[in-house]
């Protein structure tokens, strides 16, 4: 059995080991499970032990995991809570971020490469942050809503920028194609709002505990349809996954709460129990550590890009800070919004494929993204509040069945 095939067994083993390690250090500090997934992926990958090599099946599963991460992010955003002023402020912050990011990129990759760097440094990993916010019971707080608005914009607008400025088409044609997708997405959202879902909800409820599992199958169809549309239009597939999450939230908005939570639990099981861990582990496996270790210049870029992420996104996030936010809260907001990885992985892959940036710069950006995931959420949530609320046990009535 070669190293690629070994990965089919070893990756699931590491996916089980990661939460055990996270729980093991929890009495000391709450470290996001993603940290362990990335580190374990690097450890077993070609860069260190060489036990796992890139594999076609793992690559496809990793792509599905990234799509599910964006779907979950889209499905968890309460658009009514962030609409209006929060989105406007977050959008202004993003415009400021991408302008500063392009300015930074000018010094390291003049030309199209500075656009790649600008997009990477203007992103926020909302899909990565959502599980952390949910576990800390922050989603419904003013702080959580502000972070959600900044994160939604920091995840969606970079995808728009990728589709327009890094497309293989000319910019006007790419913009026209993107407009067509947006119109179709708006039609899907309007239809989800206006069409009665009573019959759909009935079928979902009737199959919740049967082998039919209509709700889960419908969601997978929805993701496939919108991701397929994105790919067909030569747009980033993550646009379709994000919109699919938003449409599903609207569809289930009027469903009985118990049924909606049951389907959500099943989808989270597929996402965070199967596909998303593969994405983060495989990102670690594919991380080009050699490009950093053999290039002092690329190695020096890692801390520079990490600081740039914090300064650029952290500063922009202050426009969205809730009223009455303390210095600690503003600092925590800045740290969390500077957490980026999925968009950085996607945009640097395009940049290398199109020869806009070299592999060393790409590895430095991804390395900075990894470090942001390693450190910023931990520091941000520790600053946010007392350890009992953030890292302590959840109330018994909030524990999933089987954890009582």
H-state helical runs in 77-125: 79-82, 85-108, 112-121
Residues 123, 153: Cα–Cα separation, whole Å: 8
Does residue 356 register a pLDDT over 50?
A: yes
DSSP 315-364: HHHGGGPPTT--HHHHHHHHHHHT---HHHHHHHHHHHHTTSS-HHHHHH
Cα separation values, 153 from 64, 174, 233, Å = 22, 20, 22
Does residue 386 register a pLDDT over 60?
A: no
Mean pLDDT of 181-203: 75
pLDDT at 339: 92
Instruction: Check residues 81 and 116 and name the one with the higher pLDDT.
Output: 116
Packing angle, helices 85-108 and 112-121, rounded to 10: 140
Least confident of 176-180, 306-310, 328-332, 337-341: 176-180
The pLDDT tens digits of the residues spanning 134-184 come to: 777 887 888 888 898 898 888 888 888 887 777 665 667 777 877 788 787
Greatest CA separation for the chain = 61
pLDDT at 179: 78
How many Cα neighbours within 13 Å face the side chain of 350?
26
pLDDT at 308: 95
pLDDT at 255: 80
What DSSP state is assigned to residue 385?
S
Across the chain, mean pLDDT equals 83
How far does the chain reach from its first CA to its final CA, in angstroms?
41
Least confident of 31-40, 221-230, 266-275, 314-323: 31-40
Mean pLDDT of 103-132: 87
Residues 279, 34: Cα–Cα separation, whole Å: 10
Instruction: Check residues 399 and 175 and name the one with the higher pLDDT.
Output: 175
Structure-derived torsion over alpha carbons of residues 91, 337, 361, 371, reported in degrees to the nearest 10: -170
Contacts (Cβ under 8 Å, ≥6 apart) of 267 = 72, 75, 216, 219
pLDDT at 100: 94
Contacts (Cβ under 8 Å, ≥6 apart) of 336 = 129, 147, 376, 377, 380, 381
pLDDT at 171: 63
pLDDT at 41: 92
The pLDDT tens digits of the residues spanning 35-60 come to: 889 889 999 998 888 898 888 889 99
Mean pLDDT of 6-22: 90
Least confident of 19-23, 80-84, 357-361: 80-84
User: For the chain, what are the domain ranges?
Assistant: 3-390
Does residue 395 register a pLDDT over 70?
A: no
Instruction: Check residues 306 and 112 and name the one with the higher pLDDT.
Output: 306
Say what the pTM is.
Answer: 0.79
Going by C-alpha positions, the residue among 69, 10, 63, 8 that lies closest to residue 271 is: 69
Does residue 107 register a pLDDT over 60?
A: yes
Instruction: Check residues 178 and 101 and name the one with the higher pLDDT.
Output: 101
Confidence tier at 185 by pLDDT (50, 70, 90) = confident
Contacts (Cβ under 8 Å, ≥6 apart) of 198 = none
Topology, domain 3-390: Na+/H+ antiporter like fold (1.20.1530)
Does residue 331 register a pLDDT over 90?
A: yes
pLDDT at 310: 94
- Whether 233 contacts 169, CB under 8 Å: no
DSSP 275-292: IHHHHHHHHHHH--HHHH
Mean pLDDT of 78-93: 81
């Amino acid at each position: 059995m070669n190293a690629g095939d070994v990965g089919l067994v070893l990756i699931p083993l590491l996916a089980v080991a990661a939460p055990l390690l996270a729980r093991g250090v929890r009495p000391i500090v709450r470290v996001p499970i993603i940290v362990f997934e990335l580190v374990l992926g690097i450890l077993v990958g070609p860069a260190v032990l060489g036990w796992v090599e890139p594999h076609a099946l793992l690559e496809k599963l990793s792509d599905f995991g990234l799509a599910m991460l964006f779907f979950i992010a889209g499905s968890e955003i309460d658009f009514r809570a962030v609409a209006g002023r929060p989105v406007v402020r977050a959008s202004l912050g993003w415009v400021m971020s991408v302008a500063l990011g392009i300015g930074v990129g000018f010094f390291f990759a003049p030309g199209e490469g500075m656009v790649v760097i600008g997009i990477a440094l203007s992103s926020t990993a909302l899909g990565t942050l959502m599980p952390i916010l949910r576990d800390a019971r922050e989603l419904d707080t003013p702080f959580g809503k502000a972070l959600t608005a900044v994160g939604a914009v920091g995840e969606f607008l970079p995808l728009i920028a990728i589709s327009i400025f890094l497309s293989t088409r000319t910019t006007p044609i790419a913009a026209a194609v993107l407009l067509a997708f947006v119109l179709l997405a708006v039609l899907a959202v309007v239809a989800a709002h206006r069409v009665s879902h009573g019959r759909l909800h009935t079928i979902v409820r009737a199959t919740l505990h049967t082998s039919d599992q209509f709700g889960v199958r419908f969601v997978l169809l929805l993701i496939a349809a919108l991701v397929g549309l994105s790919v067909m239009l030569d747009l980033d597939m993550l646009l379709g996954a994000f919109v699919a999450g938003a449409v599903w939230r609207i569809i289930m908005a009027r469903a009985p709460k118990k049924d909606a939570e049951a389907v959500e639990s099943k989808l989270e099981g597929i996402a965070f129990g199967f596909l998303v861990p593969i994405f983060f582990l495989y990102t670690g496996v594919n991380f080009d550590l050699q490009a950093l270790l053999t290039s002092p210049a690329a190695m020096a870029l890692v801390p520079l890009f990490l600081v740039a992420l914090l300064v650029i996104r952290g500063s922009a996030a202050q426009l969205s800070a809730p009223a009455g936010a303390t210095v600690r809260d503003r600092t925590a907001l800045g740290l969390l919004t500077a957490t980026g990885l999925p968009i950085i992985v996607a945009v640097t892959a395009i940049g290398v494929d199109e020869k806009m940036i070299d592999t060393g710069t790409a590895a430095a950006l991804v390395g900075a993204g990894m470090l942001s995931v390693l450190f910023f959420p931990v520091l941000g949530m520790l600053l946010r509040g007392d350890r009992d609320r953030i890292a302590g046990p959840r109330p018994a009535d909030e524990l999933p069945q089987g954890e009582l």
